[in-house]
A and B are shown apart, each in its own frame.
Chain A
């Protein structure tokens, strides 16, 4: 079944709201896919295990690249792809607002954040200008940081933190059905590219993203999930739709 136009929004958000990819990788160092993070959810110290054919570790640029038959096999979620790139950065303490360095790096947060910002600005026009100024400032700070990193001395004991994770080629994200819930189904998202941007706290699927759950199927051009707010933005050929994940009767059409 191919869904398009206004009906797509209702159908898509319904599907998303009810079922899609509620896997909790947050306990394993990655965010929940398509599920709002719950503050009550207990995090464990279990690590995330990834298998691949080969691996490149670029210590100077804080990048680890896994190549060939990449598999992240977790209790709830399984992710497979051809290539996974893990970007780390120096650990930063969160500021008073609790957002740490996230704001200063939004310039690098990719298309996902751009779509999210665009949709939010449309919702609150008075904040649009302020948001644009913030982005411009963030971009400048981002550039300054890049220049600084080259000469800055790193403290090995301060550790690193995740910046973003990219998946390339034949990306398949499978959320297993809950064995304790007979009504739950296995849900699958496929795309050519997936980006988990830790700074922006968004997950973006591009490159023919398809969401399926049982017999339901959604094709889109881009799907962005805001992990923090639980909002999902779906871009189709007809426009961008957004809505809170925990709704069952569709979202709002943006344009």
Chain B
């Protein structure tokens, strides 16, 4: 009798775990575990080799079933040289650092240069920002229907709605795209031009 009771007690946690995670959650499933965290950091790793691809930061994340609803989502897109979280210069939301607001798409060169030359950006290749975003755990796609801001050293873009797939570092901006290609992407065709660029750095 005592043995049977012990066995049942041992089984109960597995039954509960199955009830929470093993019921085949769907993307639109609002059931399941709900939890909210503030000042979140979600690193996103590539499946086959575990290389760090994106880091998602923000104010608040709410888990509902297979979806995570994100407020003030900023996604750092990392270069190949950053393989783990330790390699990245990340800002720390829980230490009181706020998600930086995106600079305007037509910001002047000094503003952009000051932004990208900041040590915090030294391990960031580009980033996307949106006020609201949803991460779908079943597809590993981060998506939003809100205005989106993409910023990088070479090219900035504004638009409405996006889908980001960290496995391939692929971003799709859904509509109303406006791109600003910076003059810095011009190839230095002369020796002088090359030296000029070097001095600027």
Contact = CB atoms under 8 A, between A and B. Distances in A.
Contacts of B81: 153-156
A54 B190 contact: no
Contact of B181 (A27, A47, A228): A47
A23 to B, nearest CB: 16
B42 to A, nearest CB: 18
Contact of B186 (A49, A50, A152, A162): A162
A160 B174 CA distance: 24
Given A45-B183, A102-B187, A153-B79, A64 B193 contact: no
A54 B125 contact: no
A160 B185 CA distance: 6
A122 interface: no
Given A47-B106, A96-B191, A154 B125 contact: yes
B177 to A, nearest CB: 4
Interface residues of B, number: 47
B80 A94 contact: no
A29 interface: yes
Given A54-B173, A159-B154, A153 B80 contact: yes
Interface stretch (A55-63, A128-136, A176-184, A204-212): A55-63
Contact of A152 (B77, B80, B126, B180): B80
Given A155-B81, A159-B184, A54 B175 contact: yes
Nearest to B191: A98
Contacts of A154: 79-81, 125
A60 B154 contact: no
> For B124, B176, B182, B186, which residue has the most chain A Cβ atoms within 10 angstroms?
B186
B140 interface: no
Interface stretch (B2-10, B65-73, B164-172): B164-172
Interface residues of A, number: 47
B169 A51 contact: no
A1 interface: no
A174 to B, nearest CB: 19
Contacts of B124: 156
Given A66-B179, A153-B79, A93 B188 contact: yes
A59 B77 contact: yes
A163 B147 CA distance: 29
Contacts of A162: 185-187
B43 to A, nearest CB: 16
A155 B180 CA distance: 22
B188 A46 contact: no
Given A55-B159, A56-B171, A58-B170, A49 B180 contact: yes
A49 B194 contact: no
B179 A51 contact: yes
Contacts of A45: 109, 183
Given A46-B183, A47-B183, A51-B177, A94 B191 contact: yes
A64 B185 contact: no
A104 interface: no
A59 B78 CA distance: 9
Nearest to A150: B80
Contacts of B169: 58-60
Contacts of A26: 186
A153 B79 CA distance: 8
Contacts of A153: 79-81
B180 to A, nearest CB: 5
B90 interface: no
Given A29-B182, A47-B180, 16 more contacts: A28-B181, A28-B183, A29-B183, A45-B183, A51-B177, A57-B171, A58-B169, A59-B126, A60-B168, A64-B155, A88-B185, A96-B191, A102-B189, A152-B80, A161-B187, A201-B189
Interface of B: 77-81, 106, 109, 116, 122-126, 150, 153-155, 157, 159, 168-191, 193-194, 197-198
25 contacts: A27-B183, A29-B181, A29-B185, A43-B183, A49-B179, A49-B181, A51-B177, A53-B176, A54-B173, A55-B157, A55-B159, A56-B170, A58-B169, A66-B177, A66-B179, A86-B181, A100-B189, A154-B125, A155-B81, A156-B123, A156-B125, A157-B153, A161-B186, A161-B187, A228-B189
